[in-house]
Chain A
Amino acid sequence: MILASTVPINGLTLSHYMLTSSLLLVIGLIGFLTRRNMIVMFLCTELMLQAAAIAMIAFGRYHLDVSGQVFVIFILTIAAAEAALALALVVLLYRHKATLSAEAWSELRET
């Protein structure tokens, strides 16, 4: 099983990195599900993206392959694009209702 890495990096094995990354994913997800502030929610999705980035780098090192790190550069680019979009949307919404709460917007629903 790959998780049981035999190549420690400063005493850290792949499983440590995977644990970090999966914790980051779960924390991001839980934050996304529970926080109401839209900016915080967005930051949580960033956390989830970075969880994937950490996994990529760790796997890249494990396989002695650079493409993982290349991927991370692109993930950061996408994250930047998403950030621009998210902030623009949040500002747009804030102009209508002076609140950042996601639950203020529930006009569209099952009737």
Chain B
Amino acid sequence: MVGAERDVIAAANIFSVLAGYAALVPEPSAPIPIAETAAGMGWAGWILWLPAISTVMCGLCAALRVKNKLPAWITVGLLGSSFLMTLALWLQYDQPVVIHLLDWIVLGGDRWTFIANFSLYVDSLTLLWMLFVTGLGTLIALYASEYMEADVRGGYARFFAGISVFLFAMTALVMADNLLMLYLGWEGVGFASYWLIGYYYRKPSAVAAAKKAFIVNRIGDLGLALAIYLIWHNFGTVEYRALFEALDSGSYSAEAGGWSIKAIPYLLMLGAFGKSAQIPLYVWLPDAMEGPTPVSALIHAATMVTAGVFLVARMYPVFLLEPASLTVVAWIGGLTALLAATIAMAQHDIKRIFAYSTISQLGYMFMGLGMLSSVGAAYHVFTHAFFKAVLFLTAGVVMHGFAGQVDLRKVSGLRHLPGFRITSFTMLYACACLAGVPLITNGFWSKDAIMAQAFISTGPGFRALGVIAIITAFLTAYYAFRVWFRVCAGPVHFEAGEEQPDDDHAPEHGEFRPHAPRLAVNLVLIVITIGAVGSIFLKGWAGERIEDSTAAYYSPLAQGAGFWEDPHHWMPWVASAVGLLGIAVAGYFHLVNRKAADGLKNAMLANPATRWLPTAMENKWYVDELYHLMFRGPLWLGGHILNLFDRYIIDMAIVDGVARVPRLLGRGFQPLSNGILQSYAVSMAGGVALLGILVFLMPQLVDWLSRWMGGAG
């Protein structure tokens, strides 16, 4: 290679050098690391038990009607201790270990077993997740101690009990050493989310949102439950260690294979998509914003929604058994990213915008996993947790300060208001991270790792996915800065929301005064922002976390070293360009010339050919309505049809029919009227007769049925 050319490439490679790609040495077929049983590490169990104790203590506070901030300090204290212990665990970590806590379910004998204990499986993937789950959990609990203070006399203890339940369940999910305990945590975080979304139970919309979240998640949970069954069925275990050993050595019974092994990743995927809000199960997440903002930040942005990503990462070896499933993951992720970004562009509710952006970013993570960049995906989870938490927390400050105002058209110029400066600037940085402003933001690095991979990995349509990812990056930059330019920049102007604050800083029938955040909130915002800055330098560290774990899969490298041959060289430039372009467009429409945005929208609405676009985007592509038709409709209809069937067919046709037969026979029986007792009797006798006829007089049907039933029939 000529020297000058090498210099050019080296200059172009500056991003690669900064990102520390050199640390990732490819090694295509690494063995799955197998954990050892650790002795004398029982103390790690307290990471799990402390949130549980916190739950109980907050529950006691609720029962004793404690009317001060005690529940918050209990929660912050215990969660903080849990975080410190996680740190300690990380510091002394050297290889994957299983820490046995207590026996739970031990069944079976010589021929089969079903063992699910309360044990912890600690590898670097676990630690990566645990560090940000407990760390952010503590910080957000601290934030909530101030944010929720209006409720000190109300549901304060209930709120913190919910947060503690969530952290307990999330810890169980992440640290479980078997799929059953993971399932426990999985359902537990779903329940905590239901609990906390419905926190403002006086709002019907909050209760409806809670119910929606729970039910949509149950659909995904069904997939997870089935997957766990099939794993147990095929591999004879639900414990990770035994499962990975079986996978590593290929010692699982070959005849058990076939469809039942191939189905596992797809079912796991269903569970992951439910929890992580991907197509087609994403509809619950935007509604979940009805919960208090710290909940949105903690559960519905930073931690719980990444449980799906965690599940796929944890079960990566199972996915690799059926590579086509990873392609599905990638495509669903990519499409979700694009769809959610388009919806986010047209929303006016700040929290909803961030909710859709969460869905969109989760789409990126799944895209990364699907395209064999588990490192990129995990790094994006890590960076996203920080900047999305900041975004939600700042949105919470706006809501809190302006009496529940969440419409970005009604608040402007926040950065000029006294007391909101820290909010504005942390939000600016978080928006920059989301938009992927080059070099100085963590989102830039993590997103770039995923987008570049789209042009490296070979898979059906991965190049197209890469293009989709780039388009989405542009849209993301646009909607992120749309929020910031609208809310924080521009002339000062605001309208208060409809919420009537009943705490002491409420105005006395006077002009509305915004309520600026105080110490705890500002502190938390600054700390998490610093964390976000710090995570820029942690790419290599996050990569190592993945390399050590079962999610390790070394991304295929680019073919050549030339500038255009390695996407890791040119992707940063492209990403920077689209990101900055998006910010510029947002700046024009929402800062320099706000009328232009409305004008453009009105122009599009006026033109019949383009009218559908803004309308559909604003109405979220009518997916909710579609689902309502698709699922709720038939269920409701089915129920009523059966009811009618019962009333008219059973009661009228059979009852009357049976009444008529004896009359025709001239037996002299009195005609049977619709006496309820006897219509039951007729139904019962009819049922017995039908079953008898079916079983004894219709051998073909019986044969067909028993074939269909499977089993040992």
Please say whether chains A and B are actual partners in one complex: yes
A110 to B642, CA, bound (A): 12
Q: Indicate whether A33 sits within 8 Å of B673 (C-beta atoms), given known contacts A110-B643, A110-B646.
A: no
Taking a contact as CB atoms under 8 Å apart, the answer to whether B676 and A103 are in contact is: yes
Within 8 A of B (CB), among A23-69: 29-36, 41
Taking a contact as CB atoms under 8 Å apart, the answer to whether A105 and B672 are in contact is: no
Measured between beta carbons, the chain A residues less than 8 angstroms from B681 are 32-33
Contact string against B for A residues 1-37, beta-carbon threshold 8 Å, 1 for contact and 0 otherwise: 0000000000000000000000000000111111110
The contact size tier of chain A is 10 to 19
Measured between beta carbons, the chain A residues less than 8 angstroms from B677 are 102-103, 105-106
A33 to B658, CA, bound (A): 9
Measured between beta carbons, the chain B residues less than 8 angstroms from A35 are 669-670
Q: Indicate whether A106 sits within 8 Å of B676 (C-beta atoms), given known contacts A32-B681, A33-B658, A33-B681.
A: yes
Q: Indicate whether A36 sits within 8 Å of B673 (C-beta atoms), given known contacts A29-B685, A30-B662, A102-B678.
A: yes
Taking a contact as CB atoms under 8 Å apart, the answer to whether B678 and A36 are in contact is: yes
A41 to B669, CA, bound (A): 12
A108 to B674, CA, bound (A): 14
Residue B675, interface by CB 8 Å: yes
Measured between beta carbons, the chain A residues less than 8 angstroms from B670 are 34-36
B673, closest chain A residue (CB): A103
A110 to B676, CA, bound (A): 10
Measured between beta carbons, the chain A residues less than 8 angstroms from B672 are 33-34, 36
Measured between beta carbons, the chain B residues less than 8 angstroms from A103 are 673-678
Report the minimal beta-carbon distance from A48 to chain B, rounded to whole angstroms: 11
Of B646, B647, B667, B685, which one neighbours A33 at CB under 8 angstroms? B685
Taking a contact as CB atoms under 8 Å apart, the answer to whether B676 and A109 are in contact is: yes
Measured between beta carbons, the chain B residues less than 8 angstroms from A109 are 676
A101, closest chain B residue (CB): B675
Residue B496, interface by CB 8 Å: no
Taking a contact as CB atoms under 8 Å apart, the answer to whether A34 and B674 are in contact is: no
A13 to B670, CA, bound (A): 35
Report the minimal beta-carbon distance from A11 to chain B, rounded to whole angstroms: 29
Contact string against A for B residues 659-699, beta-carbon threshold 8 Å, 1 for contact and 0 otherwise: 10010000101101111111001100100000000000000
Measured between beta carbons, the chain B residues less than 8 angstroms from A106 are 675-677
Taking a contact as CB atoms under 8 Å apart, the answer to whether B678 and A33 are in contact is: yes
A103 to B678, CA, bound (A): 8
Contact string against A for B residues 137-164, beta-carbon threshold 8 Å, 1 for contact and 0 otherwise: 0000000000000000000000000000
Measured between beta carbons, the chain A residues less than 8 angstroms from B659 are 34
Between B643, B658, B675, B682, the greatest number of chain A beta carbons within 10 A of the residue's beta carbon is seen for B675
A41 to B675, CA, bound (A): 13
Measured between beta carbons, the chain A residues less than 8 angstroms from B662 are 30, 34
A32 to B681, CA, bound (A): 8
A100 to B674, CA, bound (A): 15
A41 to B682, CA, bound (A): 13
Q: Indicate whether A34 sits within 8 Å of B676 (C-beta atoms), given known contacts A29-B685, A110-B643, A110-B646.
A: no
Report the minimal beta-carbon distance from A71 to chain B, rounded to whole angstroms: 22
Taking a contact as CB atoms under 8 Å apart, the answer to whether A36 and B669 are in contact is: no
Measured between beta carbons, the chain B residues less than 8 angstroms from A101 are 675
Measured between beta carbons, the chain B residues less than 8 angstroms from A110 are 643, 646-647
A78 to B567, CA, bound (A): 87
Report the minimal beta-carbon distance from B685 to chain A, rounded to whole angstroms: 6
A34, closest chain B residue (CB): B669
Report the minimal beta-carbon distance from A2 to chain B, rounded to whole angstroms: 16
A36 to B676, CA, bound (A): 11
Of B647, B669, B673, B674, which one neighbours A30 at CB under 8 angstroms? B669
A102 to B662, CA, bound (A): 19
Contact string against A for B residues 425-451, beta-carbon threshold 8 Å, 1 for contact and 0 otherwise: 000000000000000000000000000
Report the minimal beta-carbon distance from A102 to chain B, rounded to whole angstroms: 5
A40, closest chain B residue (CB): B670
Report the minimal beta-carbon distance from A10 to chain B, rounded to whole angstroms: 30
A103, closest chain B residue (CB): B675
Contact string against A for B residues 75-114, beta-carbon threshold 8 Å, 1 for contact and 0 otherwise: 0000000000000000000000000000000000000000
Measured between beta carbons, the chain B residues less than 8 angstroms from A105 are 676-677
Measured between beta carbons, the chain B residues less than 8 angstroms from A32 are 678, 681
Report the minimal beta-carbon distance from A80 to chain B, rounded to whole angstroms: 23
Taking a contact as CB atoms under 8 Å apart, the answer to whether B675 and A102 are in contact is: yes
Report the minimal beta-carbon distance from B674 to chain A, rounded to whole angstroms: 7
Between B646, B647, B673, B676, the greatest number of chain A beta carbons within 10 A of the residue's beta carbon is seen for B676
Report the minimal beta-carbon distance from A58 to chain B, rounded to whole angstroms: 21
Measured between beta carbons, the chain B residues less than 8 angstroms from A34 are 658-659, 662, 669-670, 672, 678
Between A32, A34, A106, the greatest number of chain B beta carbons within 10 A of the residue's beta carbon is seen for A34
Report the minimal beta-carbon distance from B330 to chain A, rounded to whole angstroms: 50
Report the minimal beta-carbon distance from A101 to chain B, rounded to whole angstroms: 7
Measured between beta carbons, the chain A residues less than 8 angstroms from B678 are 32-34, 36, 41, 102-103
A108, closest chain B residue (CB): B676
Within 8 A of A (CB), among B373-391: none
Report the minimal beta-carbon distance from A18 to chain B, rounded to whole angstroms: 16
A110 to B644, CA, bound (A): 11
A51 to B658, CA, bound (A): 22
A60 to B494, CA, bound (A): 95
A31 to B659, CA, bound (A): 11
Contact string against A for B residues 554-589, beta-carbon threshold 8 Å, 1 for contact and 0 otherwise: 000000000000000000000000000000000000
A106, closest chain B residue (CB): B676
A109 to B682, CA, bound (A): 16
A31, closest chain B residue (CB): B669
Report the minimal beta-carbon distance from A59 to chain B, rounded to whole angstroms: 20
A38, closest chain B residue (CB): B677
Within 8 A of B (CB), among A93-111: 101-103, 105-106, 108-110
Q: Indicate whether A33 sits within 8 Å of B682 (C-beta atoms), given known contacts A110-B643, A110-B646.
A: yes
Measured between beta carbons, the chain B residues less than 8 angstroms from A29 are 685
Within 8 A of A (CB), among B357-404: none
Report the minimal beta-carbon distance from A86 to chain B, rounded to whole angstroms: 13
Measured between beta carbons, the chain A residues less than 8 angstroms from B669 are 30-31, 34-35
Contact string against A for B residues 114-144, beta-carbon threshold 8 Å, 1 for contact and 0 otherwise: 0000000000000000000000000000000
Measured between beta carbons, the chain A residues less than 8 angstroms from B658 are 33-34
Measured between beta carbons, the chain B residues less than 8 angstroms from A41 are 678
Measured between beta carbons, the chain A residues less than 8 angstroms from B685 are 29, 33
B667, closest chain A residue (CB): A30
A29 to B678, CA, bound (A): 11
A35 to B674, CA, bound (A): 12
Measured between beta carbons, the chain B residues less than 8 angstroms from A33 are 658, 672, 678, 681-682, 685
A20 to B662, CA, bound (A): 19
Within 8 A of A (CB), among B171-225: none
A33 to B682, CA, bound (A): 6
A29 to B662, CA, bound (A): 12
Measured between beta carbons, the chain A residues less than 8 angstroms from B682 are 33
Additional A-B contact list (20), CB under 8 Å, known A33-B658, A102-B675: A30-B662, A30-B669, A31-B669, A32-B678, A33-B672, A33-B678, A33-B681, A34-B658, A34-B672, A35-B669, A36-B672, A36-B673, A41-B678, A101-B675, A102-B677, A103-B674, A103-B676, A103-B678, A105-B676, A110-B647
Can you list 10 residue pairs at the A/B interface with Cβ under 8 Å? A30-B669, A33-B658, A34-B678, A35-B670, A36-B670, A36-B672, A101-B675, A102-B678, A103-B676, A105-B676
- Footprint of A on B, CB under 8 Å? 643, 646-647, 658-659, 662, 667, 669-670, 672-678, 681-682, 685
6 residue pairs, one from A and one from B, having the closest CB atoms? A103-B675, A106-B676, A34-B669, A102-B677, A34-B672, A102-B675
